[in-house]
Amino acid sequence: MSLSLPHDHGHNDIEEMLSALWKDEDFKILSELFAQLGDATRLRLFWILCHSEECVINISAIMNMSSPALSHHLKLLKSAGLIESRREGKEVYYKAADNEKARLLHHMIEQLAQLSCPDNCLFK
């Protein structure tokens, strides 16, 4: 199928560009990810978890947040695939997920915020 645009501006590569374009569902997933990251608390929490695996009580102290408020943010980050958890006895530990999405976000935060990673970074 050939696409005919209302105005011809001399660009002949519209078909090639459109063939590389993601499906609408892929953009929806990306939009939902960005919506999660539109919150400064979640960005800070994610960055911390890129450098340390911690239990909820310790994260609450680091973030100066109640456990219920923190749990809400952890749930959203986990559902977005950015963090993962493991249980050890009664404690649940969280850290950044070991996937490309989390690595890219980590580097993006560092570049945009001009942050330097401490030596214990999970993504070096």
pLDDT digits (tens, 9 = 90+) for 92-103: 999 999 998 888
Q: Which of 77, 88, 86, 78 is nearest to 36 (CA)?
A: 77
Task: Dump pLDDT digits (tens) for 27-62.
Answer: 887 787 787 778 999 999 999 999 999 999 999 999
76: Cα separation from own chain's centroid: 10
Question: CA 46, CA 27: separation in Å to the nearest integer?
Answer: 22
Q: Which of 20, 70, 9 is nearest to 45 (CA)?
A: 70
Helical spans, DSSP H, in 37-90? 40-49, 56-63, 67-79
